[in-house]
């Protein structure tokens, strides 16, 4: 089997091995570095004793030396009495109070605690052996968790400078058990690698199966059939997400096919008229004034019809695609509606219709021209169906977390059978209507992240088209 370093199986195996083996390397490295730690402690104590002796000869105290070298420094006279004691050999743990958790129930070892358990300073071995040269003695205490070095040096006047410094050995204390840890690591490594391979088989295998099914659907005739991965975990949810995507693509394909069919249907009549005019012109008959006028009218009407159809379809296609690359801006939707009502109010067809706009100014982030088209369609539709002396009421308000734009009319209402098809392309009950206005309105509203609904209770007069837009988009 070829090993691919980029595969999830390989990476999961490397992670498992690293997690298991690196702690053992850390323990072995701690033992290797221990010799360097011991040498550093000894050097620090020797320098502290030399500087301490020089300070005594100069008549200075030992405090500065203790701070500088971070040691506990004492001055003992010839009778064994402690003249000075400066304790700066206890450094705070790197993790502060949390360090106690890593040292077990007895907590982190301390140099001061170790010192209290020893005999008086004057009775210690390094003090009894002190000469003009530093005598250093190191030992491991607290069950291997603390290494302590002590040193003493006798001055010419008989006084002794005594220094102590310790180093905690959290990891280094495990070095004594390194062989047992190695054996344990090998056993854990075998189990860990086996689990990593099993996890890789359980996780990567289904992913590869899902990949193969998806790739298979792109070969030859592209298929939107569902993928099959009978699992109840996250991989099963991933397969279901793929199926939802495939279903959405299938719906879009059907919509595109219907879109093209509708466009071809709408263009059929004007194209036929143009063909008829062309055939008529191809005849040997002279094109007199009346015939020329008739052919001109046919060509002009057909061209205008095709232009309207193409423009409407392009506009609908852009809206259904989410209005990509359309510039948006902050606009007052209430002011926009007032502006749309003015030409409708002066239109002779709606002379007896009363338009009422209610609502405070509300700013929306929208494509102004497209949103204006959607609202104009709703207003014109409501004005057309409002009864004589009827009313079209537009209410704009914030209904958190959305903005509501309600367009209500006092017309005959919408039958249940028509209401379910009201947003279908080319469905219209309006004389002279194209059946594209409401589908275009729906597409534009959805491109703004909103939705449009229609309410027309059975037996009641009037209908209400309600546009909902996200409230979050209305604040600059």
Here the tokens at position 210 are 């899902």
Q: What is the pLDDT of residue 389?
A: 83
Provide the mean pLDDT of the chain.
Answer: 79
**Higher-scoring residue by pLDDT: 369, 228:** 369
Q: What is the pLDDT of residue 1?
A: 47
Q: What is the pLDDT of residue 476?
A: 42
- The DSSP-derived string for 9-26 is HHHHHHHHHHHHHHHHHH
Q: What is the pLDDT of residue 333?
A: 92
Average pLDDT on 361-381 reads 90
Considering the segment(s) 234-320 as one domain, its CATH architecture is Orthogonal Bundle (1.10)
The separation between CA 42 and the C-alpha centre of its own chain, rounded to angstroms, equals 54
Average pLDDT on 421-433 reads 73
259, pLDDT greater than 90: no
* Residues paired with 160 in a beta bridge: 76, 154
397, pLDDT greater than 70: yes
36, pLDDT greater than 80: no
5, pLDDT greater than 70: no
What is the radius of gyration, based on Cα positions, of the chain?
A: 45
Instruction: Give the SS3 label for residue 225.
Output: coil
Q: What is the pLDDT of residue 29?
A: 64
Span 93-105, pLDDT tens digits: 554 555 555 555 5
Report the predicted TM-score, pTM, of the whole model to 2 decimal places.
0.50
**Higher-scoring residue by pLDDT: 270, 159:** 159
Instruction: Give the SS3 label for residue 404.
Output: strand
**Higher-scoring residue by pLDDT: 31, 175:** 31
Q: What is the pLDDT of residue 170?
A: 46
Q: What is the pLDDT of residue 149?
A: 87
Average pLDDT on 128-135 reads 85
Residue whose C-alpha is closest to residue 393's, from 376, 414, 378, 408: 408
- Which residues have CB under 8 Å from 193's CB, separation 6+? 13, 16, 17
472, pLDDT greater than 60: no
- CATH fold of 329-474 reads Heat Shock Protein 90 (3.30.565)
Q: What is the pLDDT of residue 466?
A: 94
- pLDDT tier at 379 (50, 70, 90 boundaries)? very high
Span 45-64, pLDDT tens digits: 888 888 888 888 887 888 88
- The DSSP-derived string for 60-104 is --SHHHHHHHT-EEEEE-TTS-EEEEEE---PPPTTGGGHHHHT-
Q: Where is average pLDDT lowest: 35-39, 156-160, 312-316, 323-327?
A: 35-39
171, pLDDT greater than 50: no
Q: What is the pLDDT of residue 3?
A: 55
CB 462 within 8 A of CB 406: no
């Amino acid at each position: 089997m070829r090993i691919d370093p980029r595969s999830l199986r390989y990476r999961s195996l490397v992670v498992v091995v690293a997690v298991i083996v690196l702690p053992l390397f850390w323990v072995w490295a701690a033992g290797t570095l221990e010799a360097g730690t011991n040498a550093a402690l000894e050097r620090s104590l020797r320098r502290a004793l030399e500087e301490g002796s020089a300070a005594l000869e100069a008549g200075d105290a030992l405090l500065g030396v203790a701070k500088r070298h971070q040691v506990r420094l004492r001055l003992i006279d010839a009778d064994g009495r402690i003249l000075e004691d400066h304790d700066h050999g206890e450094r705070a743990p790197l993790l502060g109070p949390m360090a106690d958790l890593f040292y077990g129930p007895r907590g982190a070892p301390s140099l001061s605690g170790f010192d209290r358990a020893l005999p008086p300073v004057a009775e210690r071995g390094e003090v009894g052996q002190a000469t003009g040269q530093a005598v250093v003695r190191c030992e491991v205490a607290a069950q291997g968790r603390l290494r302590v070095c002590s040193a003493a040096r006798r001055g010419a006047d008989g006084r002794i400078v005594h220094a102590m410094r310790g180093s905690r050995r959290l990891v280094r204390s495990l070095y004594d058990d390194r062989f047992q840890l190695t054996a344990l690591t090998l056993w854990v490594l075998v189990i860990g690698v086996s689990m990593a391979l099993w996890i890789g088989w359980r996780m990567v295998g289904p992913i590869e199966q899902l990949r193969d099914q998806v790739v298979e659907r792109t070969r030859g005739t592209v298929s939107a059939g569902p993928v099959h991965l009978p699992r109840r975990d996250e991989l099963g949810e991933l397969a279901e997400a793929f199926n939802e995507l495939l279903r959405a693509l299938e719906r879009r394909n059907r919509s595109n096919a219907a879109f093209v069919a509708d466009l071809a249907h709408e263009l059929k009549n004007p194209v036929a008229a143009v063909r008829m005019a062309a055939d008529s012109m191809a005849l040997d008959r002279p094109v007199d004034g009346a015939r020329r006028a008739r052919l001109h009218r046919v060509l002009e009407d057909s061209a205008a019809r095709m232009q309207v159809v193409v423009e409407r379809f392009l506009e609908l296609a852009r809206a259904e695609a989410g209005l990509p690359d359309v510039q948006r801006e902050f606009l007052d939707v209430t002011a926009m509606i007032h502006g749309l009502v003015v030409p409708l109010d002066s239109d002779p067809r709606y002379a007896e219709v009363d338009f009422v706009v209610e609502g405070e100014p509300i700013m929306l982030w929208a494509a102004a021209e497209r949103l204006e088209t959607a609202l104009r369609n709703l207003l014109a539709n409501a004005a057309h169906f409002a009864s004589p002396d009827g009313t079209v009421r537009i209410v704009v308000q914030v209904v958190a977390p959305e903005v509501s734009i309600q367009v209500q009319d006092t017309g005959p209402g919408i039958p249940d059978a028509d209401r379910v098809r009201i947003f279908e392309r080319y469905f219209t009950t309006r004389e002279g209507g194209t059946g594209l206005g409401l589908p275009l309105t729906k597409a534009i509203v959805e491109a703004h992240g909103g939705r449009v609904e229609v309410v027309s209770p059975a037996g009641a007069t009037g209908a209400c088209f309600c546009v909902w837009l996200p409230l979050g988009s209305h604040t600059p």
